[in-house]
Amino acid sequence: MAARLDKVPPKHRKAVEAQLRNISIVIQARRKELGITQEQLAESLDLAVMTIQFIEQQQRYPSLPVLFYICKAMDITVKIGNI
């Protein structure tokens, strides 16, 4: 589940890390807005509670498929680039 930041060129790494931190903040804020616990979210997504905890605490970042899955389930819009 952890993002492979070592694959990101050094000149882009800070920007990518900032976006990943933002993802964690958005997921946590939306969960709270929905009034559900980490446990309830994890159960509804069939993910481990630790997965949600690690994402929200910015200890690990979700893979792209897991990120899209979480965002779809929580009705979070995913925007890529300037499109």
pTM over the 0.85 mark: no
Contact between 73 and 47 under an 8 Å Cβ cutoff? The reply is no
Look at residue 1 in the predicted model and tell me its pLDDT: 42
Alpha carbon distance, N-terminus to C-terminus of the chain: 27
Mean pLDDT of the chain: 90
30: in domain: yes
Instruction: Give the Cα separation of 22 and 62 in Å (integer).
Output: 12
Q: Which long-range contacts (CB under 8 A, 24 or more apart) does 48-52 make?
A: 51/1
Tally the domains of the chain: 1
Q: Is residue 81 part of a domain?
A: no
Q: Is position 83 within any domain?
A: no
Asked whether the predicted pLDDT for residue 4 surpasses 80, the reply is: no
Whether 64 maps to a domain, the answer reads yes
User: What pLDDT, on a 0 to 100 scale, did the predictor assign at position 39?
Assistant: 98
pLDDT at 32: 98
Would you place residue 3 in the very low, low, confident or very high pLDDT band (cuts 50, 70, 90)?
low
pLDDT tens profile 47-82? 999 999 999 999 988 888 999 999 999 999 988 776
Cα gap 54→60, rounded to integer Å: 5
Compute the distance between CA of residue 47 and CA of residue 59 in angstroms, rounded to an integer: 16
